[in-house]
Copies of this chain bind each other. A is one copy, B any other.
Amino acid sequence: MRMKRNIGIGLMGLGVVGGGVARVVLEKNRTLAEEIGCPLALKKVLVRDRGKPRPVLVDSHLLSLDPQEILADSEIDIVIEVIGGEHPALEYTKEALLRGKHVVTANKEVIAKHGAELLKMAQERGVSILYEASVGGGIPLLLPLHHGLLANEITTMYAIINGTTNYILTRMSNEGVSFDVALKKAQELGYAEPDAANDIEGKDAAYKLAILATVAFHTVVQPEDIYCQGISRLCKQDFRYAKELGYEIKLLAIAKQGDGSIEVRVHPAFIPVEFLLAKVDGVYNAVQIDGDLVGTLIFYGRGAGAQPTASAIIADVIATGRVICSEGKGSVRPRPPQRMPIRPVSELETRYYLRMGIADRPGVLAQIARVLGDHSISIASVIQKEADEVTQTAEIVIMTHPAREQFMQQSVSEMEGLSVVKEICNLIRVEE
């Protein structure tokens, strides 16, 4: 049995996400080959228009208008489907599986509606269909549910999984604007489609919740099983009252399991401001998962975009590629690592908070500032408190602009030598 020379990739779709995937496959080919065990070869890319100018440098002879050039090509091992929408993506996916090709897809609608059937087809043909990118963009969600949390019974999921609506709600909450104004802003910035109904009405979130709940609960949850209510009825006053009462308003996708049944719903919900989910702002996504052993987990990150989605797709391609490359002998063994130089802390550049006790007399701050200035450290702000009359000592706090650790430490040493400095109380780095 000879080793595979490479793994043939057929890419269906070269839009925003497809372009991101093509770029990673081309630009990171060497790293990916190391991870997989053999290189990926981009064999064919299905497009709707060959002549369209594209930002990614895909050789024009790889472009094709005919899906059969991918589906019927025996050199293609993995089909990546990033066309989106139910049809014809579903038909292409089925045909790829039937022809014994592995599939990696970002298509939430196809998986939410037909996932169980597709998994069954894949199992029968001895191939895999992976779909991490279909929910939560680049956030690893299905991976932990399929692997890392298997010892758990998942009881509850609360998810903010639609960036468009979360952006709108964040603006309504922070700026007190109306739904229409926030929606218009989202559309101007490209966070919402011209026809945003699927997002606004919670349908997109429902597709994703169907996928998450199906995996988490080992059951089939279809989009039509999900109670779904959108955000278009929310108005300014709701946000005012929410604040008054200590809540934020978020569009939550909720799945719970208990007593042999589950509940699945998507709707706007108040959540206490002190909850971490209440702080998930803008286009970010977050999924809170409760398991009987692990307790509460939260996964947070970008739920959309070319690069995050490509990150998830390529992870699935690597997982599939490893199995292909090892002739079915998968392995969970991490590679022994290499050695890289360690950068010493002295080379750190950051802002600092410095608190010290000083003599309460004129000219002291000037002396301190001179020491810092001598080491090219500039002061961002100073707080000086009333002096203690008995000890004639005052306390000051200095916030610096970014400075090098080495110079900061030297400054502190010099300051300790100044007669006007009674004590260096604390030096703390600022991370922001």
Contact = CB atoms under 8 A, between A and B. Distances in A.
A353 to B, nearest CB: 6
Contacts of A158: 431
Interface in A142-170: 142-144, 146-152, 158
A218 B340 CA distance: 9
A337 B294 contact: no
Contacts of A399: 245
A319 interface: yes
Contacts of A245: 353, 381, 383, 399
Interface stretch (A48-56, A267-275, A411-419): A267-275
Interface stretch (A180-188, A192-200, A421-429): A421-429
Given A235-B426, A294-B307, A310-B151, A263 B345 contact: yes
A241 B123 contact: no
A405 to B, nearest CB: 9
Given A261-B343, A293-B24, A293-B138, A148 B132 contact: yes
B139 A297 contact: yes
B337 A238 contact: no
Contact of A339 (B137, B142, B219, B271): B219
B312 A120 contact: no
Contacts of A235: 425-426
Contacts of A296: 300-302
A282 to B, nearest CB: 12
Contact of A293 (B120, B276, B311, B430): B311
B428 A268 contact: yes
Interface residues of A, number: 128
Contacts of A295: 138, 301-302, 305, 307-308
Number of copies: 2
Interface in A256-271: 256-257, 260-265, 267-271
A300 B289 CA distance: 10
A365 to B, nearest CB: 17
A298 interface: yes
Interface string A190-229: 0000000000000000000000001101111100010100
Contact of A315 (B130, B151, B220): B151
A372 interface: no
Given A122-B333, A312-B148, A395-B237, A227 B345 contact: yes
Given A262-B340, A315-B151, A238 B308 contact: no
Contacts of A217: 337, 340
A328 interface: yes
Given A315-B150, A318-B150, A397-B241, A341 B299 contact: no
A138 B297 contact: yes
Nearest to A130: B332
A301 B298 CA distance: 6
Interface in A68-125: 116, 119-120, 122-123
Contacts of A387: none
A217 B300 CA distance: 21
Given A140-B147, A293-B307, A295-B305, 12 more contacts: A28-B151, A122-B333, A143-B143, A152-B311, A218-B337, A235-B426, A238-B425, A264-B342, A293-B314, A300-B300, A323-B331, A330-B331
20 contacts: A140-B143, A142-B334, A143-B144, A147-B147, A152-B311, A218-B338, A225-B342, A238-B426, A241-B355, A244-B383, A245-B381, A262-B342, A263-B344, A263-B348, A293-B308, A295-B302, A296-B301, A323-B331, A328-B331, A330-B332
- For the complex of A and B, list the 3 residue pairs with the smallest distance between their C-beta atoms, beginning with the closest: A330-B330, A140-B148, A151-B314
